[in-house]
Protein backbone atom coordinates (compact mmCIF):
# COMPACT_ATOMS: atom_id res chain seq x y z
CA UNK A 1 0.00 0.00 0.00
CA UNK A 2 2.86 2.35 0.84
CA UNK A 3 4.45 1.71 -2.57
CA UNK A 4 1.15 2.51 -4.27
CA UNK A 5 0.89 5.77 -2.32
CA UNK A 6 4.39 6.88 -3.35
CA UNK A 7 3.76 5.83 -6.95
CA UNK A 8 0.62 7.96 -6.97
CA UNK A 9 2.46 10.97 -5.51
CA UNK A 10 5.37 10.59 -7.94
CA UNK A 11 3.11 10.28 -10.98
CA UNK A 12 1.18 13.36 -9.90
CA UNK A 13 4.35 15.39 -9.49
CA UNK A 14 5.72 14.25 -12.84
CA UNK A 15 2.47 15.29 -14.53
CA UNK A 16 2.78 18.79 -13.11
CA UNK A 17 6.39 19.08 -14.22
CA UNK A 18 5.45 18.62 -17.89
CA UNK A 19 2.70 21.24 -17.96
CA UNK A 20 3.13 24.82 -16.91
CA UNK A 21 0.47 27.47 -16.40
CA UNK A 22 0.60 30.09 -19.06
CA UNK A 23 -0.77 33.64 -19.24
CA UNK A 24 -2.99 34.24 -22.25
CA UNK A 25 -0.51 36.73 -23.72
CA UNK A 26 2.06 33.92 -24.04
CA UNK A 27 -0.22 31.66 -26.09
CA UNK A 28 0.56 31.93 -29.82
CA UNK A 29 -2.02 33.90 -31.80
CA UNK A 30 -2.71 30.99 -34.16
CA UNK A 31 -3.76 28.87 -31.16
CA UNK A 32 -5.75 31.68 -29.52
CA UNK A 33 -7.56 32.51 -32.76
CA UNK A 34 -8.53 28.89 -33.32
CA UNK A 35 -9.79 28.62 -29.73
CA UNK A 36 -11.83 31.83 -29.97
CA UNK A 37 -13.43 30.71 -33.24
CA UNK A 38 -14.39 27.30 -31.83
CA UNK A 39 -15.45 28.46 -28.34
CA UNK A 40 -16.47 32.13 -28.50
CA UNK A 41 -18.51 31.95 -25.28
CA UNK A 42 -15.91 30.20 -23.15
CA UNK A 43 -15.19 31.50 -19.65
CA UNK A 44 -12.95 30.59 -16.68
CA UNK A 45 -10.16 29.98 -19.19
CA UNK A 46 -6.81 28.56 -18.07
CA UNK A 47 -3.92 27.84 -20.43
CA UNK A 48 -1.01 25.45 -20.01
CA UNK A 49 2.06 24.71 -22.11
CA UNK A 50 2.45 20.99 -22.76
CA UNK A 51 5.28 18.98 -24.25
CA UNK A 52 3.74 19.09 -27.75
CA UNK A 53 1.55 22.20 -27.71
CA UNK A 54 -1.05 23.85 -25.52
CA UNK A 55 -3.91 22.77 -23.30
CA UNK A 56 -6.82 24.98 -22.34
CA UNK A 57 -9.39 24.30 -19.63
CA UNK A 58 -12.63 26.27 -19.65
CA UNK A 59 -16.37 26.24 -19.09
CA UNK A 60 -19.30 26.95 -21.38
CA UNK A 61 -22.97 27.41 -20.59
CA UNK A 62 -23.80 24.31 -22.62
CA UNK A 63 -21.37 22.05 -20.79
CA UNK A 64 -19.54 22.38 -17.49
CA UNK A 65 -15.92 21.51 -18.07
CA UNK A 66 -13.86 21.32 -21.24
CA UNK A 67 -10.23 20.49 -21.89
CA UNK A 68 -8.79 20.98 -25.36
CA UNK A 69 -5.26 20.14 -26.48
CA UNK A 70 -3.87 22.13 -29.42
CA UNK A 71 -0.76 21.57 -31.50
CA UNK A 72 1.63 24.50 -31.84
CA UNK A 73 0.02 25.10 -35.26
CA UNK A 74 -3.43 25.55 -33.67
CA UNK A 75 -4.85 22.16 -34.66
CA UNK A 76 -7.13 20.43 -32.13
CA UNK A 77 -5.48 17.22 -30.97
CA UNK A 78 -8.04 16.19 -28.35
CA UNK A 79 -11.22 17.56 -26.79
CA UNK A 80 -12.59 16.29 -23.47
CA UNK A 81 -16.02 17.54 -22.44
CA UNK A 82 -17.88 16.76 -19.23
CA UNK A 83 -21.48 15.73 -19.92
CA UNK A 84 -24.52 15.00 -17.84
CA UNK A 85 -26.03 11.53 -17.90
CA UNK A 86 -29.00 12.77 -19.92
CA UNK A 87 -26.66 13.57 -22.84
CA UNK A 88 -25.51 9.97 -23.19
CA UNK A 89 -26.80 7.87 -26.07
CA UNK A 90 -29.65 5.66 -24.89
CA UNK A 91 -27.77 2.50 -25.93
CA UNK A 92 -25.07 3.31 -23.35
CA UNK A 93 -27.60 3.98 -20.60
CA UNK A 94 -29.35 0.69 -21.43
CA UNK A 95 -26.05 -1.22 -21.35
CA UNK A 96 -25.17 0.14 -17.92
CA UNK A 97 -28.65 -0.50 -16.52
CA UNK A 98 -28.59 -4.11 -17.79
CA UNK A 99 -24.99 -5.00 -16.91
CA UNK A 100 -24.24 -2.91 -13.81
CA UNK A 101 -27.36 -3.21 -11.69
CA UNK A 102 -27.13 -1.19 -8.50
CA UNK A 103 -24.41 1.07 -9.94
CA UNK A 104 -25.01 4.76 -10.51
CA UNK A 105 -23.40 6.88 -13.17
CA UNK A 106 -21.00 9.31 -11.52
CA UNK A 107 -18.84 11.07 -14.14
CA UNK A 108 -19.39 11.27 -17.89
CA UNK A 109 -16.78 12.55 -20.35
CA UNK A 110 -17.03 12.78 -24.11
CA UNK A 111 -13.56 12.56 -25.63
CA UNK A 112 -12.96 13.42 -29.28
CA UNK A 113 -9.55 12.53 -30.67
CA UNK A 114 -8.47 11.98 -34.27
CA UNK A 115 -12.08 12.19 -35.44
CA UNK A 116 -13.29 9.45 -33.08
CA UNK A 117 -15.65 9.93 -30.14
CA UNK A 118 -15.35 7.93 -26.94
CA UNK A 119 -17.62 8.21 -23.94
CA UNK A 120 -15.77 7.54 -20.70
CA UNK A 121 -18.15 6.84 -17.83
CA UNK A 122 -17.41 6.22 -14.18
CA UNK A 123 -20.01 4.06 -12.47
CA UNK A 124 -20.00 3.42 -8.75
CA UNK A 125 -21.64 1.22 -6.18
CA UNK A 126 -20.62 2.02 -2.61
CA UNK A 127 -16.80 2.09 -2.66
CA UNK A 128 -16.51 0.19 -5.95
CA UNK A 129 -15.80 2.42 -8.96
CA UNK A 130 -15.47 1.20 -12.53
CA UNK A 131 -14.52 3.18 -15.63
CA UNK A 132 -16.29 2.14 -18.82
CA UNK A 133 -15.49 3.31 -22.32
CA UNK A 134 -17.92 3.27 -25.25
CA UNK A 135 -17.60 4.28 -28.88
CA UNK A 136 -20.08 6.76 -30.37
CA UNK A 137 -22.39 3.91 -31.41
CA UNK A 138 -22.65 2.72 -27.81
CA UNK A 139 -20.36 -0.30 -28.07
CA UNK A 140 -18.19 -1.11 -25.04
CA UNK A 141 -14.50 -0.73 -25.92
CA UNK A 142 -11.34 -1.86 -24.11
DSSP letter for each residue of 90-107: HHHHHHHHHHSTT-EEEE
- Tell me the CATH architecture of domain 84-142: Roll (3.10)
Question: Is 104 a residue whose pLDDT tops 50?
Answer: yes
Task: Give ranges for CATH 3.10.450 in the chain.
Answer: 1-79, 84-142
**31-60 mean pLDDT:** 96
Q: Which of 8-12, 32-36, 75-79, 122-126 has the lowest mean pLDDT?
A: 8-12
Q: How many whole angstroms separate alpha carbon 6 and alpha carbon 104?
A: 30
Domain 1-79: state its class.
alpha beta
Residue 142 is predicted with a pLDDT of: 87
Which pTM was predicted? 0.80
Question: Is 8 a residue whose pLDDT tops 50?
Answer: no
Residue 129 is predicted with a pLDDT of: 96
Q: Which of 11-20, 33-42, 44-53, 130-139 has the lowest mean pLDDT?
A: 11-20
Q: How many whole angstroms separate alpha carbon 135 and alpha carbon 137?
A: 5
**47-70 mean pLDDT:** 93
CA atoms within 13 A on the CB side of 120: 12
Q: Report the mean per-residue pLDDT for the chain.
A: 88
Residue 19 is predicted with a pLDDT of: 66
Q: How many whole angstroms separate alpha carbon 25 and alpha carbon 97?
A: 47
Which residues are registered as beta bridge partners of 119? Answer: 110, 134
Q: In what order do the strands lie in the sheet with 104-113?
A: 20-22, 43-50, 53-59, 65-71, 76-83, 104-113, 116-125, 128-135, 140-141
Amino acid sequence: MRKLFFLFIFSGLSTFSFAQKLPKKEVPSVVLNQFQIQFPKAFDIEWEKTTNGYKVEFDTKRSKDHEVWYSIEGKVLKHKEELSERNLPQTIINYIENNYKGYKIDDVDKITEKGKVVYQIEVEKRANEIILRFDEKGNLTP
